[in-house]
Structure 1
Amino acid sequence: MGNQSGPGKFGRRTVLQVAAAAGAAQLAPPFIISARGEETVKLGLDNPLTGVYAATGKNELTGCQLAVEQINAKGGILGRQAELLIEDSSSGDAGTAVQKARKLIDRDKVNFLLGNVNSGLSLAMAQVSNEKRILHIVPGGHTDAITGSTCHWNVFRVCNTTRMLTNAIAKSLMDRYGKKMYFITSDYAFGHTLQEGYDANLKQYGGTKLGEDLVPLGTTDFSSYLIKAQATKPDVLVFLANGDDLLNALKQAVQFGLDKRIHLAGANTELEVLEGLPPEARIGDWVAEWYHIQPGVPHVDEFVAAIKKKTGRVPTARTWFGFVGAWSCALAANKAKSLDALKMARALDGMELPPEVGLMPNTPFYRANQHQLIGSLYVGNAQAKGSAPDDLFHVAKVVNGKDVAGTVEESGCKMTWPA
């Protein structure tokens, strides 16, 4: 995906230990002396650095890196320095993701597990983290089951559920453009639950589903799907995909001239995708899960400046996901005054994020007994040119996550805590 920010090249296993010398110098000397001899607190990130989701995975990594630097500059976790251990899960191989998770837990003895961008891999990793009783933060895997039907006491999620995404946009699309829709949907957990969300909204608001194509992850040629969709004459062609898949689908839809005859839209889009598209393909209505231009929201400009200093580029929603994920580990441990997973999960259960971490107009919080972060969603349209070269999304309205999340009961989560 062109022009993506990233931390550079990675080996098979990369270890980041941030000393944060500038920040540490401001701490009282007794703390520095005692902290130096302590074993580090380890955060294990098991996320894609190669494949379809490499760009989004690398940006989540950048957010984690900044968080670890800040955590260490502010005293660390329980007075000990934090260390980030990184594994490349690949973009679509659950076996690899599980193997890397076990390696981080069993061999590297991490205190926290983070990941994954891919919803299916997140589900597989959650089984491992629950078995091993380790606190697990999912920064960017959206499928509903993670904090729904297969929720676990030890698993927390930063990004929105797919149902929150579809609830935020589906009705407005039908009201503005028409109720006949055709869907091109990624054939794995993320796409499946997005489709279920749209299907529910169509039923609720009297829409019509003209058809649906399930497309394998990593598809590069969408021509047959686009021709089939065009023949049904929908009001809206809905793309339920992400990463390079969404980028390729939109490029080809514009090359076919579909944007001149059909409104193009979807659920969530990401700055990584918009950056990779030619200007003429930056079109359609979408949901952004975080955006770097938020006038008046405390600390957003500071976060943007810190990421630009590291990468030369503005942060994306993925950067924020990683940032919140790593900070959640420190917040849980420091509140619990323990690295015991159960005590930390209890501490994080229902917690509101501080403004310098939340970076949203609606204070994000982990909903009790579900562990889904509820914050803000940004509904609007992609744009070829905005107020700045990196302003590629126009926010038409900010939706409070509480208004589209449904209830814990509706999510299907029946949280069971250890004795």
Structure 2
Amino acid sequence: MNDKVDDKSNSKGISRRTILKMAATTGAAAMISPGIVRAAGEQPVKFGVNNPVTGTYAITGRNELHGMELAIEEINARGGILGRPATLIVEDSTSGDAGVAVQKAHKLIDRDKVDFLIGNVNSGLTEAISQVAFAKGVFMMDPGGHADPITGTECHWNVFQTCPSTTLLVNAIAPDLIKRFGKKFYFLVPDYAFGHGLLDAYNVNLKKYGATNVGADLIPLGTSDYSSYLIKAQSASPDVIVILQNGDDQTNVLKQAVQFGLDKRFHIAGANIELETLEALPPDARIGNWVIEWYWNQPGVPHVKEFVDAIKKKTGRVPTARTWFGHTAIHACALAANKAKSLDAVKMARALDGLVLPPEVSLQPKQAIYRANQHLLIGTLWAGHAQPQGSDGADDLFHIDSIIDSKTIAPTIEEAGCKMTWPT
């Protein structure tokens, strides 16, 4: 994975500090203004990005940033937002420290006066900073934190969730796993909001389809040695070992599962798989059944090839779901502002409530809509299996078995527990 961030000036001479340099400087922020700015001299529209660029989720966070940068370039090339240039102000939330993420949210809102708060890869941090955004009345876009409560029991009028919820991820794969591979499931669970939500959703599916949870381990984020957990898993003699880790943790546990030979004795599966993980794994560890939340190889889907080519030009690699999250999140914010003809948070939230994304933003075969009165993006999911390498080159590491319209597997707003109230 090419996770280098360009530190050179762009063609218009706008200086950019690297994210890595920013991460090493306490309290520093990176101001990023790529692209052609039509409204030179105007006060910029500010996107405050509160996302990891260090720790377990560093690579996924940086790929979200690549997508955001491209979106800003595209927005500015088309005249900006309300005739004003758009810019990113980036803070490293770290991968797992809620205190740091909350501190950075206050800084972005109170000192930098951002118009949009963007974050976070870590669901627990998303939940924490969404409380800050709600208290401050600031429009917030969650690109990559999946936990159900974000647009469920803790939903807010000003918070939108671009990535699928944990329940959507599990509903897209669990019934097929039970049908094909057996009724006994063992779970390796990251011990925070994301993992807990996935396990809860799996338990609902197991009960519905007559399967059994034969064991589950709650494992700290950032664990490097999974040997004790894998020994416990094999001792339970499950049909399926379900790996719910993400980021570097997902890479580590899959490598070790293959070293233990568990893939030869049990079926390996999970919820979502990251292309970042598959790229980091040796070919023999690219195994298991998963959901991928966006895939670069979509022949015939409008605008996807152009997006893939633009990201490859920028980074040297194909976009991942994380790149798509970042790109879509920024464009959705711009759509909200331009539709509302305002940067007022309430007016923008009203404008995005129930909005269907245009094809050049959604970049998928099914309709993508921010569900009215909940703000979860309902679109397309892809279920399939990892592969050492497919027919379309070194980046074709996931075989799609089925394309799923999320509205067919989504809980109702009432089932999700969202009781949204709006300012009067």
TM-score higher than 0.5:
yes
Q: 2:33 aligns with which of 7, 18, 22?
A: 18
In structure 2, C-alpha distance between the alignment counterparts of 1:345 and 1:69, rounded to whole Å: 23
Task: Determine the structure 2 residue equivalent to 1:309.
Answer: 313
- The answer on whether the counterparts of 1:17 and 1:82 sit within 8 Å (CA) in structure 2 is no
Show the 5 A alignment for 1:287-306.
287-306=291-310
In structure 1, C-alpha distance between the alignment counterparts of 2:35 and 2:2, rounded to whole Å: 26
% identical aligned pairs: 63
Task: Determine the structure 1 residue equivalent to 2:331.
Answer: 327
Q: 1:169 aligns with which of 167, 173, 194?
A: 173
Task: Determine the structure 2 residue equivalent to 1:369.
Answer: 373
Q: What SS class does the counterpart of residue 156 from structure 2 fall into?
A: coil
What do residues 198-233 of structure 1 show as CA deviations (whole Å, max 9, x unaligned)?
000000000011100000000001000000110111
**Structure 1: 5+ residue stretches without partners:** 25-31
In structure 2, C-alpha distance between the alignment counterparts of 1:363 and 1:5, rounded to whole Å: 31
Show the 5 A alignment for 1:31-42.
32=38, 35-42=39-46
In structure 1, C-alpha distance between the alignment counterparts of 2:275 and 2:290, rounded to whole Å: 11
Shift of 1:275: 0.6
Show the 5 A alignment for 1:39-188.
39-188=43-192
- The answer on whether the counterparts of 1:4 and 1:272 sit within 8 Å (CA) in structure 2 is no
TM-score normalised per structure 1: 0.96
- The answer on whether the counterparts of 2:34 and 2:69 sit within 8 Å (CA) in structure 1 is no
- The answer on whether the counterparts of 2:118 and 2:142 sit within 8 Å (CA) in structure 1 is yes
**Structure 2: 5+ residue stretches without partners:** 7-19
Task: Determine the structure 1 residue equivalent to 2:13.
Answer: none
Q: Does residue 1:412 correspond to 2:401, yes or no?
A: no
Tell me which amino acid in the other structure corresponds to 1:376.
Answer: T
- The answer on whether the counterparts of 1:6 and 1:59 sit within 8 Å (CA) in structure 2 is no
Shift of 1:240: 1.1
Shift of 1:134: 0.6
Task: Determine the structure 2 residue equivalent to 1:386.
Answer: 390
TM-score normalised per structure 2: 0.94
In structure 1, C-alpha distance between the alignment counterparts of 2:323 and 2:213, rounded to whole Å: 34
Tell me which amino acid in the other structure corresponds to 1:393.
Answer: F
Q: What SS class does the counterpart of residue 299 from structure 2 fall into?
A: coil
- The answer on whether the counterparts of 1:4 and 1:275 sit within 8 Å (CA) in structure 2 is no
Tell me which amino acid in the other structure corresponds to 1:18.
Answer: S
Shift of 1:38: 1.2
In structure 2, C-alpha distance between the alignment counterparts of 1:98 and 1:325, rounded to whole Å: 20
Shift of 1:6: 4.1
Q: What SS class does the counterpart of residue 249 from structure 1 fall into?
A: helix
Q: Which moved more, 1:3-12 or 1:399-408?
A: 3-12
Shift of 1:4: 4.2
In structure 2, C-alpha distance between the alignment counterparts of 1:296 and 1:410, rounded to whole Å: 35
Output the aligned Cα RMSD.
1.0
Tell me which amino acid in the other structure corresponds to 1:409.
Answer: E
Task: Determine the structure 1 residue equivalent to 2:12.
Answer: none
In structure 1, C-alpha distance between the alignment counterparts of 2:141 and 2:411, rounded to whole Å: 21
What do residues 142-175 of structure 1 show as CA deviations (whole Å, max 9, x unaligned)?
0100000000000000000000000000010011
Task: Determine the structure 2 residue equivalent to 1:28.
Answer: none
Q: 1:275 aligns with which of 279, 302, 320?
A: 279
In structure 2, C-alpha distance between the alignment counterparts of 1:20 and 1:40, rounded to whole Å: 13
Tell me which amino acid in the other structure corresponds to 2:88.
Answer: L
Tell me which amino acid in the other structure corresponds to 1:20.
Answer: G
What do residues 282-319 of structure 1 show as CA deviations (whole Å, max 9, x unaligned)?
00000000000001100000000000000000000000
Report how many aligned residue pairs link the two structures.
406
In structure 2, C-alpha distance between the alignment counterparts of 1:141 and 1:337, rounded to whole Å: 28
Q: Does residue 1:396 correspond to 2:401, yes or no?
A: yes
Q: What SS class does the counterpart of residue 357 from structure 2 fall into?
A: coil
Show the 5 A alignment for 1:196-215.
196-215=200-219
Structure 1's 138 and 6: CA in aligned 2 closer, same or farther, altered over 3 A? Answer: farther
What do residues 353-411 of structure 1 show as CA deviations (whole Å, max 9, x unaligned)?
11101000002110000000000000000000102100000011100010111111110
In structure 2, C-alpha distance between the alignment counterparts of 1:409 and 1:7, rounded to whole Å: 42
Structure 1's 231 and 4: CA in aligned 2 closer, same or farther, altered over 3 A? Answer: farther
